[in-house]
Amino acid sequence: MAGLVSDARTLIDYARVECQNHRFTYNEPISILAVAETIADLAIDFGEGKKSRKTEMARPYGVSLLIAGVDENGPGLYQTDPSGHYIEWSARAIGPATESAQSMLKENYSSNMTMEEAKKLALQTLKNVMTDKINNLNVELCTITIEKRVFEPHLPEHIEEIIKTLQ
């Protein structure tokens, strides 16, 4: 996420409820695309004069989100923005150093990378764009594999091992 933390929490809570409603109604997990569309629809409702929401918004949501996961279509990564637009990416960075991080991803990302190569690229990109020195206390690393389809946070020790291998 990049932007206002409170807005991100609001959108994420909304998305969680929609995911649960979908599972309860259809007895299947929601697709990643549908989650991105749901968040974008809520963001775009601002200023439309719709009274369908329980609370009226005083301003647009000030946050962009990256939504990632694995569903029946395989891995997916979507970015939503405050205007209500969403777009699919293979690799994406958002935040204050977007341009330089995105440039590095564009140069080094490949769709046939191994998971270890992808983790290393993610941490190398952060190392290059962060003002603070990267370490296992100021960075978190999580993965979702096609086989398990589970969000797995990595231990700080594993992150530190990868950081030691960076240039």
* pLDDT value of residue 142: 96
Tens digit of pLDDT per residue, the chain (167 long)? 888 899 999 999 999 999 999 999 999 999 999 999 999 999 888 756 555 555 566 688 899 999 999 999 999 999 999 999 999 999 999 998 999 999 999 999 999 999 999 999 999 999 999 999 999 999 999 999 999 999 999 999 999 999 999 97
* pLDDT value of residue 134: 93
* pLDDT value of residue 4: 87
Query: Tokens 């995105």 sit at which residue?
Result: 102
3-class state of residue 134 by DSSP: coil
| Domains located in the chain, CATH noted | 1-89 (3.60.20.10), 91-167 (no CATH)
* E runs forming strands in the chain: 2-3, 63-71, 74-80, 86-88, 142-144, 151-153
* pLDDT value of residue 2: 86
* pLDDT value of residue 101: 96
